[in-house]
Amino acid sequence: MSRPYRFAVIGTGFFAQNHLHAWAQIPDVELVAVCDTDPERLAAAARDFSGRPYADAAELFANEELDFVDIATTPPTHPQMVFLAAEHGVPAICQKPLAWDLADARAMVEAMEAKGLPFMVHENFRFQYPMRRVKEVLDAGTIGRPFFGRFSFRSFHDCYTPQPWLLDSERMIIVDVVVHLFDLARFFIGEPESLYAEALKVNPRIIGEDVATVMMRMPGATAIADASYETFSNHSTYPQAFVTIEGTRGVITLGPDYHLQVVSHPVDVGDSAARMTGAVVFDEDLQIPEHAWASRPWHGIQDSVVALQRHWVECLRTGRTPETSGADTLRTMELTLGAYESLATGQPYRVGSSA
């Protein structure tokens, strides 16, 4: 394309600010409009990022010629926004979770596919620099075949002030955080066949769950995703996710403050004589790129937003399918909603059993 990609951002609240700042530093794109139902937020976004303001998304689509739209609204509005994009023939990125139920998520993907429109879900954890480094180590075969993974996100950070909808949501930490961990499990180890979930409500101020643990079974592997918004610590690591992946020849550990350690054995686990000869092959505090607009402790997440949005533009340019396409994310959504089914029934959820 000889001119920049013209786009709009719908939703200008808490996390959408990261989207807007990231777009401002990505070449070959031009923000032409912003949309929000909150007048103060809308006015501030239009002023700070030079987009025409709209209070109504339908009016935006009717009036603007867009090459894509970035949807950063709250989850209940995602289907409506994506259906509008499909109706107007506009490629779209949509924040996670894609929808509250699998039928809506499937309908959203089908609507975009029917028009042949690129569609990506803003699933940013896998685009974090430390997660890409973990993936490089895995793909190099340094720890052999992975057979276990643990993906953890635990803090006591106030997530409610910037996202007040979480207080009243019947579904909370699984759709807010564990959805990211499911995507990491798929990214690193493979597609789960079944899962079993347990969850608690610890904070009396909220309606939904704020602590959750999910066990997954993949072909030849198991994994655990655990998350909490009620875990005290004398050293806050919010919003970091921790990863442990065990393989037939070693272990990868991504711990607090982005410390990455890789232990590798010279042979597979079947050779007991070599069990004690493993060596640390990587042990380093990863340095996360920090952008001028970024602020700690969010800098790792904020850098991942830049990486994800660059990926989207490159996919538009080359015709590639995005890593977290709508179709791919249906698998993550089934795990997320399957976890709630497991909570309701007290039984494991088998992937593919939802109508």
Judge whether residue 355 has pLDDT over 70: no
Structure confidence at residue 273 as a pLDDT band (50, 70, 90): low
Residue range 19-42: mean pLDDT, rounded: 98
Contact 239, 298 (CB under 8 A): yes
CA dist 245 and 13 (Å) reads 35
β-pairing, 250-255 with 242-247? antiparallel
Q: Where are the domains of the chain?
A: 5-117, 126-294+335-345
Closest CA to 61 of 42, 83, 46, 44: 83
| Six-digit token string for 7 | 């786009």
Q: What's the pTM value of the predicted model, to 2 decimals?
A: 0.95
CA dist 353 and 345 (Å) reads 14
Residue range 218-228: mean pLDDT, rounded: 98
Which residue type, as a one-letter code, is found at position 50?
Answer: S
CA dist 255 and 284 (Å) reads 10
Select 126-294+335-345's CATH number: 3.30.360.10, 3.30.70.270, 3.30.1490.20, 1.10.1040.10.
Answer: 3.30.360.10
What mean pLDDT is reported for the chain? 95
Judge whether residue 275 has pLDDT over 60: no
Judge whether residue 135 has pLDDT over 60: yes
pLDDT of residue 265: 85
Neighbours of 63 (CB within 10 A): 12
Residue range 3-8: mean pLDDT, rounded: 98
**CATH node for 5-117:** 3.40.50.720
Neighbouring residues of 45: CB distance < 8 A, sequence distance ≥ 6? 9, 12, 16, 20, 34, 36, 51, 53
Instruction: Compute CA 270 distance to the chain's CA centroid, rounded to the nearest angstrom.
Output: 36
pLDDT tens sequence across 53-110: 999 999 999 999 999 999 999 999 999 999 999 999 999 999 999 999 999 999 999 9
Sign of CA dihedral 170, 171, 173, 177: negative
Percent of the chain at pLDDT above 70? 96
CA dist 116 and 41 (Å) reads 33
Closest CA to 303 of 126, 181, 142: 126
Residue range 135-145: mean pLDDT, rounded: 97
Closest CA to 182 of 340, 310, 320: 340
pLDDT tens sequence across 298-328: 999 999 999 999 999 999 999 999 999 999 9
Judge whether residue 272 has pLDDT over 60: no
Q: What is the DSSP letter of 320?
A: P
pLDDT of residue 269: 61
CA dist 93 and 18 (Å) reads 14
Neighbours of 145 (CB within 10 A): 14
Q: What's the maximum distance between 2 C-alpha atoms anywhere in the chain?
A: 71
Beta strands in 60-122 (DSSP E): 68-71, 92-95, 119-122
Helices (H), 118-251: 129-139, 165-168, 173, 179-188
